[in-house]
Structure 1
Amino acid sequence: MKIAVYGQKFVANNISYLNQFIGYASSHSIEIHIEKSFLHILSSFKEFKNLDFPVFSHYKELTKDFSLMFTFGGDGTILSAITLIRDSGIPIVGVNTGNLGFLATFNKDVFIKKIDQIFNKKFLLIPRSLLSLKTSIMDHHQFFNFALNEIVIIRKETVSMITIDAYIDNEFLTSYWADGLIISTPTGSTGYSLSCGGPIISPDNNNFVLTPISPHNLFSRPLIISDHKKVHLKIHSRVKSYSLSMDTRLTSLNKDNELYIQKAPFYIYMIQERKNTYYKTLREKLLWGMDKRN
């Protein structure tokens, strides 16, 4: 078996967990490949000074013979990892060493106890849909154009609102007069969209949600649409450019650059403990129903 390991930072409190993980993999003849920058971070700790594992730094190196990718961090680490996984179909085991851990559902203590079951594939494999982006003006410096959580258009270098003309399957929907607009997947519905008043959508739904950011129109409300629909956006601003974010990646585009958004042709697969369901995560992570009267 061959596995990939990815992280963006590491703290001394997690040394014992990673040591146990590496020890288990070595004793079971599991081939570990560590992302190059993460290996450099680990090498700064004396316990990992002599780590000698193959490295990867590009998505083309993650071939389909990898069985799993283990991410050590939080949800942001997973969002960053998908730029390497892409359409390879490699399932992600998210080990939560961060804070919220909505996607990274394996607590580091539970992860060590369940490691044998993980490698024996006794957990659920959950597909997560993504958004795909194309622009009317091609930019050779654009980043990976898929998003697991959301695509966000937001004003830049101005305190004035921007206007976003939205079309669904070529039919005009409305003009959002706002600070910006969020197009979210069900996975991202518990992120930025939620903080802007958007609905929570369970990941087994085939929907996207359009959530305006601080709209000036009182009747502008979040809109849930089928993920079979195609979204076309035209942006009007007093300045030359606007900001575009896709999960953790941020860039700026000329206001003449129109956006075409639809469902991606592939899924990201998450490993999930059978008892650690989506609704259980809602209760625990978002404190759903945590009222003294309950």
Structure 2
Amino acid sequence: MKIALYGQYYKDNTEDIIEKVLRVFDRYAPQVLIEANFYTVLNEKGLLPKPFDTFSEHEELQEGIDLFISIGGDGTMLRAATLVRDKNIPIVGINAGRLGFLATVQQENIEALLPQIFTGGYKISSRSLLSLDYQGMSPEDSALDFALNEVTVSRKDTTSMITIDVKLNGDHLNSYWADGLIISTPTGSTGYSLSCGGPVLMPDVTSLVITPIAPHNLNARPLVIPDDTDIELRVSSREEQHLVSLDSRIISVNVETVLRLKKAGFTIKLVEFPQEKFLDTLRKKLLWGEDKRN
């Protein structure tokens, strides 16, 4: 088996996580590649017992890689998705931060769960993405024109509201007066959209969520739409530009630019272990059942 390893270094627990991962690797002897920056940090900390091959970019992920391991939080998982892209390499998230919805393997469970990737004791959860296109998009932005969690439009350099005109399949939906607007995938429904009052979607539903950010009109509510909908956004503002974010990547775009969003033509494959299912994570994260009256 060939495994790519990527992560962020956290002084509190990365050493322990790497030691546990390497112990599992010693038992099953996979071929391992480590992302170059992460490799440098681990080497400087003396955490690697031997040299490993490295990679830096999406293009350097060789054919035949069976698994991609991300060590960090959900943000690290989102960056891992930009490396994997459309290569259909399953991603395992080892959580080095707070409880996350994407990085679900907890530090204390590494040696119990990680061996299951070698024995087939897991299933694949395919996650849909959003793609973005607009006239004048740079080649650099076009190369990363997708989002696993959400695409967000928001104001820039102003405290005034912006107006976001929305069309669905060519039909006018609404003109939102708000600080911004979130278009969320099912995966992203537990993120920014949830904090703005959006609903939680199960990962395998074929829907998207439109969630306004601090709307001027209180009757502007989140809306669930089919994920095969073609979405057009056009922002009006007192400023010359507004912001568009694809997960954690931010672009400045001229106002009145027509943004075209649709479901991406590929999915991100996440590894799900029987012991760390989405509903288990949801209960833990939202503290369901903590109320003693339940």
Which TM-score band (shorter chain)?
Answer: over 0.9
**Superposed displacement of residue 114, structure 1:** 2.3
Q: Deviations over 1:100-123 (max 9, x none)?
A: 221111112212122221222211
Q: Which position in structure 2 is the counterpart of 1:162?
A: 162
Task: Please give the TM-score of this superposition, normalised by the length of structure 2.
Answer: 0.95
**Superposed displacement of residue 276, structure 1:** 2.4
**Superposed displacement of residue 250, structure 1:** 1.3
Q: Distance in 1 between matches of 2:36 and 2:125?
A: 27
Per the alignment, in what secondary structure is the counterpart of residue 78 of structure 2? helix
Unaligned runs of 5+ in 1: none
Q: Which position in structure 2 is the counterpart of 1:260?
A: 260
- Report the count of equivalent residues: 293
Q: Distance in 2 between matches of 1:92 and 1:115?
A: 12
1:10, 1:42 within 8 Å by CA — same for their partners in 2? no
Q: Distance in 2 between matches of 1:245 and 1:138?
A: 13
**Superposed displacement of residue 258, structure 1:** 1.6
Pick which of 94-103 and 24-33 moved more: 24-33
1:176, 1:215 within 8 Å by CA — same for their partners in 2? yes
**Superposed displacement of residue 138, structure 1:** 2.5
**Superposed displacement of residue 4, structure 1:** 0.2
Q: Deviations over 1:140-185 (max 9, x none)?
A: 3426111000001000001110001000001111101100000000
Per the alignment, in what secondary structure is the counterpart of residue 283 of structure 1? helix
Q: Which amino acid aligns with 1:182?
A: I
Pick which of 161-170 and 94-103 moved more: 94-103
Q: Which position in structure 1 is the counterpart of 2:103?
A: 104
Per the alignment, in what secondary structure is the counterpart of residue 109 of structure 2? helix
Q: Distance in 2 between matches of 1:261 and 1:123?
A: 32
Q: Which position in structure 1 is the counterpart of 2:90?
A: 91
Task: Please give the TM-score of this superposition, normalised by the length of structure 1.
Answer: 0.95
**Superposed displacement of residue 16, structure 1:** 3.2
**Superposed displacement of residue 41, structure 1:** 1.6
**Superposed displacement of residue 46, structure 1:** 2.7
Q: Distance in 2 between matches of 1:197 and 1:215?
A: 11
Q: Distance in 1 between matches of 2:32 and 2:228?
A: 38
Q: Which position in structure 1 is the counterpart of 2:40?
A: 40
Q: Distance in 1 between matches of 2:137 and 2:282?
A: 39
Pairwise mapping of residues 206-217 of structure 1 onto structure 2 (< 5 A)?
Answer: 206-217=206-217
Per the alignment, in what secondary structure is the counterpart of residue 43 of structure 1? helix
1:137 aligns with 2:131: no
Q: Which runs of 4+ in 1 moved over 4 A?
A: none
Pick which of 122-131 and 22-31 moved more: 22-31
Q: Which position in structure 2 is the counterpart of 1:72?
A: 71
Unaligned runs of 5+ in 2: none
Pick which of 10-19 and 162-171 moved more: 10-19
Identity %: 45
Q: Distance in 1 between matches of 2:261 and 2:173?
A: 15
